[in-house]
A and B are shown apart, each in its own frame.
Chain A
């Protein structure tokens, strides 16, 4: 899990050759991953051209399709296509509701567990059980309960995320530096201030790690739930195109999901950088 002091001791020594090489490597890292991505896309392109199949169109075809599908400008839509506006807000709203629910519940459960060793011992088998149940397996049960509705997606996303957030929060809360807790005690902080000003900020690195991981899970579960249990949304679109043999559109929707994932991850990064400023020590 997230370690303290990510800046590391290297940043305190005078800049030597190793330091400079490290900085260069850090600067090049995003580029390096882009190269890998480009190579993979090239392999896709070449493979699809070498052995044409309706199921796997070349990347260039998908990319062109992608532009048309999602960004064909219509009047008054900010460059986004009608299709985009029909699918993405619906899907994201489900993700937001499910994930927010999971965050609130998960942090609350995690704080309770983290503050009490006894509660942790009592609850950990239960949590381990639910954590090892793949969220997808709960889909039929959710369908039974909620019918084909928004609630299935929201429930599935929340269910698939809440345990990860709870365990990360519990770890973070249980690991708060005793020096800080002792100070808080000596200041006679009331419960609320103790939680909001000391415990949660101190556990924030771990909580944010849980939120980040769970967001990835949530995105997957959003798509899965939409494949089966909705009449709109990105997952629904993917299923529709697949069933109607519109493969380029299927891949283009798939690409959009991937980009959404990257964008959400970037958003968490930004929040994290802001909230955990104090861990970088200058």
Chain B
């Protein structure tokens, strides 16, 4: 799906959280959103997900205005602990992601098992979220997003609570998803390396209220790989550039 953001703005009460933002995210494109804490990244993602009413402007998914959670869009929330239901087992948590489309039972079980295998937790289906570590819960939240077989995946710092090895695995999982299914991905992160390594474009937001400081095209060759890509001189340049923008954004006028 293609996402069009048209002069989208949001305020909480009389405090602006997001200044008008416009952008286009093409079918199958991978866009990372970075910016200082509190600049409105999560707000932007909730607006894209149809979970918050827009203040001004609008979001279009394949030309259709978003005015509620659209079909085919999965969200991985920043607050993963509060987005899983503790009274349901992992399997039942995952099954809820497909309730809306009612797949056949065998198909559902198959999808759940596959999603859990993709995030490296094949043996947790019968357990409860509170019996898992923070990083494991975060991976369950990602698995749940996969069960719906989305065409748009919106993720809010989904790898924040996992160790470095798992993080690398999950990053490559997400890249593979995009490769295999042409999923359109928007990833909020404050890990600059991650944004450059994964994305086709990095949207750098200004401090609150967020606006687009820079829409940076990441011209690194595909396929990306943890060792190969991160060793490229161009990777270092892009990384430095994003870093500079995030660190020293007050002057606004980026080079």
Contact = CB atoms under 8 A, between A and B. Distances in A.
Contact of A281 (B51, B68, B97, B130): B130
A186 B100 contact: no
Given A187-B100, A189-B99, A193-B96, A180 B85 contact: yes
Contacts of A282: 130-131
Contacts of B77: 179, 182-183, 186
A177 B69 CA distance: 19
Contacts of B79: 179
Interface string A139-175: 0000000000000000000000000000000000000
B100 A188 contact: yes
Contacts of B92: 197
B82 A198 contact: no
A23 interface: no
Contacts of B128: 277-278
Contacts of A198: 85
Q: Per DSSP, are chain B's interface residues mostly helix, strand or loop, or mixed?
A: loop
Nearest to A193: B99
B12 interface: no
Contacts of B247: none
A246 B51 CA distance: 69
Given A179-B77, A198-B85, A281-B130, A186 B69 contact: yes
A54 to B, nearest CB: 55
Nearest to A276: B87
A177 B49 CA distance: 19
Nearest to A200: B87
B51 A188 contact: no
Interface in A245-261: none
Contact of A190 (B71, B86, B99): B99
Interface in B84-133: 84-88, 92, 96-97, 99-100, 128, 130-131
Q: Per DSSP, are chain A's interface residues mostly helix, strand or loop, or mixed?
A: helix
B83 A183 contact: yes
Contacts of B3: none
Contact of B71 (A179, A183, A188, A204): A188
B75 interface: yes
B135 to A, nearest CB: 17
Contact of A182 (B51, B84, B100): B51
A180 B82 contact: yes
Interface bin, chain A: 20 to 34
Interface bin, chain B: 20 to 34
Contact of A197 (B83, B96, B100, B148): B96
A180 B49 CA distance: 15
A193 B99 CA distance: 8
Nearest to B130: A281
B242 to A, nearest CB: 29
Nearest to B128: A278
Contacts of A277: 128
A190 B69 CA distance: 12
A216 interface: no
Given A186-B69, A282-B130, A282-B131, A179 B99 contact: no
Interface string B24-51: 0000000000000000000000000101
A197 B131 contact: no
A187 B83 CA distance: 11
A184 B51 CA distance: 11
B120 to A, nearest CB: 22
A4 to B, nearest CB: 11
A193 B73 CA distance: 19
Interface string B209-245: 0000000000000000000000000000000000000
Interface string A182-217: 111111111001000110011010000000000000
Given A278-B86, A278-B130, 7 more contacts: A179-B77, A185-B68, A187-B100, A198-B85, A201-B87, A277-B128, A281-B86
Interface of A: 177, 179-180, 182-190, 193, 197-198, 201-202, 204, 277-279, 281-282
17 contacts: A179-B77, A183-B77, A183-B85, A184-B96, A186-B73, A186-B75, A188-B69, A188-B71, A190-B99, A193-B96, A193-B99, A197-B96, A201-B85, A201-B87, A202-B85, A204-B87, A281-B130
List 7 A-B pairs, minimum CB-CB distance, nearest first: A179-B82, A278-B86, A188-B100, A201-B87, A183-B83, A278-B87, A186-B75
